[in-house]
Amino acid sequence: MEPAQLSTLIVSVTNTSRLILQYFQQRSRICNEENYNAVVAALVQAIQQNNSRLLQAGTLLLQSVERQCWARETNTDWWDRIAMTQWDDEQWLQNFRMRKGTFLELCKELSPALRRKDTTMRPALTVEKRVAIALWKLATPDCYRSVGSQFGVGKSTVGAVVMQVCRAINKLLLRRLVTLGNVQDIVDGFDAMGFPNCGGAIDGTHIPILAPDHLGTAYINRKGYFSMVLQALVDHKGCFTDINIGWSGKVQDACIFRNSGLFKKMQAGTFFPDQKINLGDVEMPIVILGDPAYPLLPWLMKPYTGHLDSDKECFNNRLSRCRMVVDCAFERLKGRWRSLLTRLDLCEKNIPTVISACCVLHNLCEKHGEMFPRGWVMEAESLAANFEQPETRVTLRANSEALCIREALKARFFNEQQ
């Protein structure tokens, strides 16, 4: 039967149903004069017959036309035929922040968590395309609609894919890539930079976010915008060895630090091995380096503040030169994943997941020797102009043992300079 004939049949059945309704209305007015049950039985029989004819006609009509996809067909030639087959490593680096080889290795690692089965309605997105969508969104300040147009998917698909990939990264790679690694290599690296027995540098950075639905004022930092804080410890190469994410922008660095897992491990002496050096008659364990916002502790060295004489300036210069690795790490993190420089358009509970995934990807790129073009820094500075980092508040708390260690280090550095 032709579609036109089927359409005519459906219209006919619909008209018949309308006549049945009129018939029911007429008979209901005389139901007191005749047998009401007989009227209802006749009505039900007529409706069933016509419903059967309508269902049969509708089924035939659906079978006579080609089934379409749920959504409109989109163009994926750019990804399938250009990016995957024709781009060189420089183009991959500019657009996905890593070379194709690193990208494919990442896809292989994430495949167990990201592979989906095709359905009768449409084929599933490949693992490679899912990862590419997520990397593109993280690497640019583009909106979901723009990314969706780039890859031929809907904006809601982009949002879902980004979270799927970020969760997979955290589940499969976080503990393996954001880790302390070989402590002696780190100590030797900082020693070559000028600071002995050092295991890392610590700092925090504010990530701009949209105003949360609840307790929004708690997220307003001292610069007046909504933010979430990333606290990170980095090694001598600028790789993250410990991260803490989720505190609101209003909370001070020292408070975040004292409530972090890193602080508890350092206090218990379980984060680094028990390795000490002698500075005259003073013993110094492996230390980390912080700015004046952090407390002075036997295992955390920070610069002198207030009036500085020549030997204190010498100490501060040496510490600052080594502590710069954490500033450079944040610069490279945001330069690669530029979505961290503008307000993250995510709900509050998803923000730590995305920031953490960016930290993992940063370490992955650093360990694979991915280039970081200087132009990315200028792009990042331009995007970050509206979200200046808040000034840190000086913390004056100091441990007496820590004061002795810092004085011994100051004397050693000054003597070496002389």
pLDDT of amino acid 188: 98
Nearest to 121 by CA among 68, 74, 61, 161: 68
pLDDT in tens, the chain (418 residues): 555 665 665 566 566 666 555 655 565 554 454 555 555 566 556 556 655 665 565 555 545 544 444 444 455 678 888 889 899 999 999 999 999 999 999 999 999 999 988 887 778 899 999 999 999 999 999 999 999 999 999 999 999 999 999 999 999 999 999 999 999 999 999 999 999 999 999 999 999 999 988 878 899 999 999 999 999 999 999 999 999 999 999 999 999 999 999 999 999 999 999 999 999 999 999 999 999 999 999 999 999 998 899 999 999 999 999 999 999 999 999 999 999 999 998 999 999 999 999 999 999 999 999 999 999 999 999 999 989 999 888 888 888 999 999 999 999 999 998 7
The domain limits of the chain are 3-63, 77-172, 177-417
pTM value is: 0.81
> What is the structure's pLDDT at 182?
96
pLDDT at 122: 78
Asked whether the CA dihedral 106, 112, 113, 117 is positive or negative, the reply is positive
Q: What size, in residues, is the chain?
A: 418
**Amino acid sitting at position 200:** G
Q: In sequence order, what are the residues at sequence separation of 6 or more whose Cβ sits closer than 8 angstroms to the Cβ of residue 358? A: 138, 333, 336, 337, 339, 340
The whole-angstrom separation of Cα 151 and Cα 8 is 42
In this structure, are residues 408 and 298 in contact, taking their beta carbons and an 8 Å threshold?
Answer: no
CB 280 within 8 A of CB 408: yes
What's 249's DSSP letter? T
CA dist 78 → 10, 87, 144, 229 (Å): 44, 11, 17, 37
Confidence at residue 123, expressed as pLDDT on a 0 to 100 scale: 84
Token output for 246: 């989720």
Query: DSSP string of 250-300?
Result: TS-HHHHHHTSHHHHHHHHT-SS-S--EEETTEEE--EEE--TTSPBBTTE
pLDDT at 57: 55
**Residue written as token pair 């505190």:** 247
Query: What pLDDT, on a 0 to 100 scale, did the predictor assign at position 62?
Result: 47
* Residue 280 φ/ψ region, left for φ over 0, alpha for ψ in the -120 to 50 degree band, beta for the rest: left
